[in-house]
Amino acid sequence: MPGGDLHLTLVRHGATAWNEQGRWQGVTDNPLAERGKAEAALLARRLRARAFDRAESSDLQRAVETATLALPGHALAGHTLNLDPRLREMNFGAFEGLTLPEMQAHPAFAHWQADPWHHAPPGGESLADVAARMQDWAGELDGGRVIAFSHSVAIRALLAGLFRWPPVPQPGYPLPLPVRLGHTGLSVLKRRAGHWTLRALGDAAHLEEG
């Protein structure tokens, strides 16, 4: 039943061409770049000895591709990958496809930066919106061992919501999230008796071994 003891592994997707170009992609549905496929292959080596009761993914193709490449055939014990749009990246609206300097030149940038936790980019969503849908998703998970493929901002918004991390402005970075997550990094949480603990954050040791 939802709320049971849970071991949750959250995975950021592999790199895309826009990631390599420094473009903010949000819900723009880009595929993995060759680098991202290589990262997912290295992750597969790390996960091959692990088994999961359930696998979830954002329905954006960079997350689905990462999951497909990274999960060994036996890891799901016959289960299929469940796609959930609540695991999507933050919708950056009019800022999608822009580099940070291009974003900063946008007339709506200053308003967004006044309170990016509660303010949304034009046509997009706020960090509070992202945290709410991610927490809604996590709260519905049954117990057991679950792996979920998602996105950097979405994962960090979930953690900020669950652990009540306050937004902290970051010099030279538009989001008030001090933690950064590398591609295919693993963040591991446990839920027991309704209480969450963070066991690992953005662990990408498999990339160093590759």
3-class secondary-structure state, position 24: coil
Strands 186-192 and 144-150, by their bridges, are unpaired
One-letter amino acid of 75: A
Angle formed at CA 77 by CA 203 and CA 8, multiple of 5 degrees: 30
**How far, in Å, CA of 3 to CA of 140, rounded?**
7
DSSP 133: H
Catalytic residue among 56, 89, 96, 125: 89
Catalytic residue among 13, 151, 183, 206: 13
Q: Give catalytic status of residue 111 as yes or no.
A: no
Other CB atoms within 10 A of residue 120 CB: 20
71 contacts: CB under 8 Å, gap ≥ 6? 44, 47, 52, 55, 81, 147
207 contacts: CB under 8 Å, gap ≥ 6? 39, 42, 182, 183, 184
Instruction: Provide φ and ψ at 56, rounded to 5°.
Output: -125, 155
3-class secondary-structure state, position 3: coil
Q: Give catalytic status of residue 102 as yes or no.
A: no
Beta-strand ranges (E) seen in 70-168 are 81-83, 144-150
The residues assigned a catalytic role are 13, 89
